[in-house]
Every structure is written in structure tokens, then in C-alpha cells.
Amino acid sequence: MKHGKNYNNASAQVNPEEFLSVIEAVSKVKTVSTAKFDETVELACRLGVDPRKAEQIVRGTLSLPSGTGKTNRVAVFASGEAAQAARDAGADHVGAEDLVAQVAGGFLDFDIAIATPDMMGQVGGLGRVLGPRGLMPNPKTGTVTMDVAKAVGEFKGGRVEYRTDKVGNIHIRVGKVSFSREDLARNVQAVIDELFRVKPASSKGRYLISATVSSTMGPGVKIDTVRARESEEILVSA
């Protein structure tokens, strides 16, 4: 892929053979960022799992300690009191059969979809629309629940979903370039700690194979995955 001058200049400042601590890596990402907008910072992890096996699919949600820098647009499939609770909690789109019909017709102006259990019979029919986009509500991620108000509040406040793709990679937004390096490091560390917390028992050998952090328009910076297990390092100035 051909890159522009700014990317090439930024890439020249990153040693592809160097593995940095979490705080050093996010500092480098901030240093080489040249875009005129506040770039999103993303963490990409390669896990030693086989997603073809159901018991080795790694998925869930977590609240990042420093937030994500983005307010999620939340859609809630609910009716009656639950629907009103979702509206009161700040959900962007709330509905039952009407919302199901909208989504079936192509409406996808949201980042998170939440549903009450009684709505899943209808929402399940949207699998071909929501599934490929990672938007299908699921009990394992807290997006199928009767407590929709709590779920809306959490996802609006910086709770994020994660899931391995078909080859064992996880990509997750961990903040913005404008965040302090300490806030970015705390978020990155929180993700790494969470991934080890949910490590499948059947996963053998090396688990966290690689971890790379980058901004929207910038090159990837490799993290030393061994040092990354030592969460206290993020409080030490690099």
C-alpha cells in the first residue's frame, strides 16, 4: 500500500524491530501523530487462540479507566417500562417492532445495540445485518439485559466491547491522541489485563502473541508483551 509523506515521515521515527513498554509506546504514538484532527488510538492484539473452537472465542466488555474519547450512539430494542428507562438513560434510538423494521430496512446509525430478552426473538432475525458489523446483542457482552438503563449508562460512559476475529486478533479503541500518555497507558493496560483475565482454559502455549498501538493515520508501535503484564510501570515516567 502506498502511503503519504506524513505517514512515511512518522514511520521513519518508529523502529519496527523495537518493543516498547506501554507508556513508551503510547508516548511514541503521540509524538509521531501529525493529522490535523484528534486521531483515535487503537490497540491491536494477536492472541494464541483458535476462534474456530467455540471455547476459545475471546469476547466481552470492559470499562476503560480513562474513557474512550467518544460517546457511543446506543440503540435499544425494548418496549413498555424498559423502553422508557432506556430513553431516560440517554439512549439515542429506542423501539420494539418499529426499530426492528428500521434496522431491517438499512438503518444502522448506532455503535451499540442493546435488547431486552423478550425482544431477542425478533432481533435475532437481524443477524445478517447486525452480525457482520459486531452489533448483535449478546448476554456475554451485557447487551441482552432487563436493566437497559444501566447498560446504556455504561456504554455511553466508555464501556467497550471486544471479540476475536476469525484469526485471533482483537482491535479495540483505547482513546484519542489528545489524551495524556498516562491516560492512554492506563486504558491499554486495562485491555491487556482484561484479556488475561478471560484467557480460555483450553488455550495452550503463548497467549498474547503481539500487541501494537497506533493512531488513525499513524504507524503501529509494538509493545513488549512481557513488560505489559507489569501494570505499575505506567505510573513511571519514561
Question: Per-residue pLDDT tens for 170-216?
Answer: 999 999 999 999 999 999 999 999 999 999 999 888 999 999 999 99
Quote the pLDDT of residue 165: 92
Nearby residues of 176 by Cβ (< 8 Å), 6 or more positions away: 38, 39, 40, 41, 69, 70
For the domain 9-68+160-235, what is the CATH code? Answer: 3.30.190.20
Quote the pLDDT of residue 109: 94
Nearby residues of 222 by Cβ (< 8 Å), 6 or more positions away: 16, 18, 19, 20, 25, 210, 211, 212
- Specify the pTM: 0.77
For the domain 74-156, what is the CATH code? Answer: 3.40.50.790
Is the per-residue pLDDT at 2 higher than 70?
Answer: no
Is the per-residue pLDDT at 236 higher than 70?
Answer: no
Domain spans in the chain, listed from the N-terminal domain onward: 9-68+160-235, 74-156
